[in-house]
Chains A and B, each alone.
Chain A
């Protein structure tokens, strides 16, 4: 079974631009979560989607948004990029339907550099 895939793997953007990152979960997984990893703040939860609905959200500004499609693929968008948005963005999928924590399977991440 194919793992979680994320595209693109690397991205360079300029301050003020916007960016869209994509995540394809493991087949059959309906929950997709996004995390930001930086040297200073470590790994921080952005949001989780299940059946096209945002089920949980972390403490990030409204510039960070996401969505999930009917095939469970997910995208996250960052508008008006700032230098501090440079990070590794990780996507994780799971079989979770709610009520129990299911193992999350992580993708390799998208490395975003903002200049």
Chain B
């Protein structure tokens, strides 16, 4: 079945550092790919998405490119802030279904 594997955390960085969180997927069809963020005590928020190969999703300085050849969707940000501290989840949905398959999550802590 479909699955998502993402970089294990926790990840700790200093403010203004460059961030990469790796995500790879396995799917039989042509999935849509997502990054969600979860702040403490809250539900998930969609950060960005890409629906087909070579699409780049971006939001709030975060970017991820849908790479079909490497089945990857790595999350990057050029300069992180303390407010970016949260848990990040990579996810996919297959062929238009609402069901999301999530990776294990990566806890990110940014120190001032």
Contact = CB atoms under 8 A, between A and B. Distances in A.
Given A43-B100, A45-B99, 13 more contacts: A45-B100, A45-B101, A48-B99, A50-B98, A56-B98, A90-B43, A94-B98, A101-B96, A101-B97, A104-B46, A104-B98, A104-B100, A108-B41
Contacts, number: 59
B46 A101 contact: no
Contact of B104 (A42, A48, A92): A42
A33 B45 contact: no
A33 to B, nearest CB: 6
Nearest to A32: B98
A81 interface: no
B52 to A, nearest CB: 12
Contacts of B46: 103-105
Instruction: Identify the interface centre among B43, B49, B101: most chain A CB within 10 Å of its CB.
Output: B43
Contacts of A55: 98
A95 to B, nearest CB: 10
B97 to A, nearest CB: 6
23 contacts: A33-B99, A33-B100, A35-B100, A42-B102, A42-B104, A43-B44, A43-B91, A43-B100, A43-B102, A43-B105, A45-B99, A45-B101, A56-B98, A90-B43, A94-B98, A101-B96, A104-B98, A105-B46, A106-B36, A106-B43, A106-B44, A106-B45, A108-B43
